[in-house]
Amino acid sequence: MNSKQSLDTKIIYNIVYNLIEKANTNLPSWVYNKLSNFNCNYKDKILKNAYLAQSKGRPLCQDTGQVLVYLEIGQDIIPEGDCVESVINKAIADCYKEKFFRKSTVKNALYDRNNKGDNTPGLIHIDIVEGAEILITVGIKGGGAENMTQLKMFNPTAEPSEILDFAKKCASEAGENACPPMCIGIGAGGCAETAAFLAKKALFFGETVEIDIENVFETRILTAPTHIACLPVCVNISCHSLRSASGKIINGEIQYTDEIQEYYDVETPSNAREVRTDDISALMNLKNGEEILLSGKIITARDAAHKRLAEMIDRKQVLPLSLENKIIFYAGPCPASNGEIIGPVGPTTSKRMDKFAPLLYENGVIATIGKGDRTIKGLNKLYFKAIGGIACVLQACIKDLTPVCFEDLGTEAVLELTVEKLPLKALWL
């Protein structure tokens, strides 16, 4: 008896497309429940964001990241049609275009950092297993938390407690750059690349480790065999939006395996006072650590736009906009869907702009907005911290948008935004 089963790879396209949409817009119920019981100062905004994303079908975070696809394909399956990787990448490209998700993949890490415009290729991992089923998990990994990854080659006689201490250190150093509360993935074993692979996979499939780490709601680990002289360990971090969705294909039929939970609206009261962007005196008299609601006009600019502006200033070229008294929001929003002023939007990691910030402050910028701490000090310049990972909540604060310049940079173009009661914390650098 022949147990082999033919499978049209169009079915893989369909399930991957749907899992990408679900992972980006619906916080897994176990994550939502964990966060509901987690002690966090802005928990109400995180839960509100989950409600808005689910109810509107829009991304939890503006950084709709790189797409991870984990497949277990039964060896009795015979794929027919376009190759599996091709249909997966087509599903990614089509979903990101049709659902107005942000495309964040550049053509080459070193030599051509122009945005590809379709968010491909996905990071695809395929295992061949027994049987005639296909199991698929899609994960979405943003850049802010990914940049906090750390790899360490331990002495092979190291104790497990040393590994957990390393994870604590990584979480502490990540801080607000990884949009806490965080989930920690630990990978140990194999060679260096194995540990890195396991650390990320642990976020979705790992065994839970009971460990008390500040601002971490879950720690998971995966291990593998290794050389007698080696103990490679990697820590990979996810923000509070640990985005994933799973399903399987059995006898040519798609089954979605995640629990569906309906989220509810959450009030997010604030006693902070409103400050306008054109009230220079009020801005200059803000206290360090003061929470405010900012209203008025700001501009967006992040990595690529900063580099271009700095190069133009160095060459003494005329800038396409005046920087005088401007407030720069380090942000790259999702494309606007039908009826939206802007797509979900939120802050990116501020310290990546630190090498440009003094120059832009010198040329008239009055304040900047981003997430996390900064490496620049002693400037006596204003910096606003925004909460990361609540893109739908912050989207509601944007009342108007006008393109300004560098539209070829896509999501990194400079935009003028009219904001209303944008929640921020004032700090002096």
Contact yes or no for 331/62 (Cβ under 8 A):
yes
Name the packing angle between helices 43-56 and 29-36 (round to 10°). 150
User: How many residues are listed for the chain in this entry?
Assistant: 429
Handedness of CA 232, 85, 108, 201 (dihedral sign): negative
| Residues 321 and 404: beta-carbon distance below 8 Å | yes
Q: Please give the pLDDT value at position 2.
A: 59
Helices (H), 381-426: 391-395
pLDDT of res. 340? 97
Strands of the sheet with 66-74, listed across from one edge: 123-129, 66-74, 133-141, 243-250, 253-256
Residue 269 is predicted with a pLDDT of 85
The catalytically annotated residue of 125, 227, 240, 306 is 306
Cβ(310)–Cβ(319) below 8 Å: no
Task: Say if residues 37 and 26 touch (Cβ distance below 8 Å).
Answer: no
Q: E strands along 94-214, which residues?
A: 106-108, 112-115, 123-129, 133-141, 150-153, 182-190, 207-208
The per-residue pLDDT for range 33-77, each reduced to its tens digit, is 999 999 988 999 999 999 999 999 999 999 999 999 999 999 999
CB–CB of 390/58 below 8 Å? Answer: no
- In this prediction, residue 1 carries a pLDDT of 47
Alpha helices (H) along 121-262: 143-146, 160-174, 192-205
Contact between 209 and 164 (Cβ < 8 Å):
yes
- Give the torsion sign (CA, 91, 95, 98, 103): negative
pLDDT tens profile 351-382:
999 999 999 999 999 999 999 999 999 999 99
Both tokens assigned to 338 = 């039908």
Q: How far apart are CA 351 and CA 226, in angstroms?
A: 36
- Integer-rounded Cα radius of gyration of the chain: 23
- Residue carrying the six token digits 């990914």: 146
Amino acid identity for residue 204 in this structure: F
Q: Identify residue 332 by its one-letter amino acid code.
A: G
Given a cut of 70, the residues of the chain with pLDDT beneath it are 1-2
Q: Please tell me the distance from the alpha carbon of residue 162 to that of residue 155, in angstroms, as a whole number.
A: 10
What burial class does residue 392 get, using C-beta atoms within 10 Å of its C-beta: 0-12 exposed, 13-18 middle, 19+ buried?
Answer: buried
| Dist CA 200 CA 139 (whole Å) | 10
DSSP symbols for 327-341: EEE-B-PPPP-TT-S
Predicted TM-score of the model (pTM): 0.94
Q: Which of 87, 106, 83 has its CA nearest to residue 20?
A: 87
CA–CA dist 238, 250 (Å, integer): 31
Question: Greatest CA span in the chain, whole angstroms?
Answer: 83
In angstroms, how far is CA 390 from the centroid of its own chain? 11
Between the two ends of the chain, the Cα-to-Cα distance in Å is: 73
Q: Is 306 a catalytic residue?
A: yes
Give the model's pLDDT for residue 41.
Answer: 87
Tokens of 324: 């005088």
**So what's the pLDDT on residue 366?**
98
Structure tokens at 166: 């390393």
Q: Which two tokens stand for residue 23?
A: 């992972």
